[in-house]
Structure 1
């Protein structure tokens, strides 16, 4: 079970990432490209080029959690907002 001290912020990458990246590669991407702390407890979500997979990266206080989600059907990314836009259709991950 993962215990959280606070409600984590959700970071969603609009650009696809190389899905060969593992924990260290994605943590470096968070630190360099997003200028965020990958060990803050926030959830960082990345999508593949084909829009059929998601990777979630999160620090749970004892280690880094890396989860992969395979998306059936239309994929993800169609409902993503650009900076300053509101999301018309929320992204469903579950």
Structure 2
């Protein structure tokens, strides 16, 4: 069951990833390279060198979930904003949409 929402935090691994890596190998990259805790509930995004394969690593209650997408044609466009991704940026990247210019309109936000 796909349980990723806009409530999660998303982090993009900046290097290219060997797509043969599974749960333990990806957890090692998260710990060493991103200096984050793999079991934090955050979602970690990995791309291969040619940007045709994408993996998402996510901790849910009781264990890890690994989502994998392979493109038959084209490449994933990587946002240039850094390691942190928003839900919207992730969805655009997965769907193959690239925004040329984004203007975020001011919205009310409750202070916590």
From the two aligned structures, give the one with the greater helix fraction.
2
With the length of structure 1 as denominator, give the TM-score of the two structures.
0.77
Q: Which runs of 5+ in 1 are unaligned?
A: 84-89
Q: Please report how far the alpha carbon of residue 20 of structure 1 lies from its aligned counterpart in structure 2 after TM superposition.
A: 1.2
**Structure 1 moving runs of 4+ over 4 Å:** 1-4
Distance 1:14 1:79 in 2: 9
**Alignment match, 1:53:** 53
Q: Assess, with a 3 A threshold, how the Cα gap between structure 1 residues 79 and 64 changes in structure 2: closer, same or farther.
A: closer
Give the structure 2 partner of residue 22 of structure 1.
Answer: 22
Cα deviation, residue 47, structure 1: 0.1
Report SS of the residue matched to 2:93: coil
> Which has the larger Rg?
2
Residue 67 (structure 1) shift = 1.2
Name the Cα RMSD after superposition: 2.2
How many residues are treated as equivalent by the alignment? 86
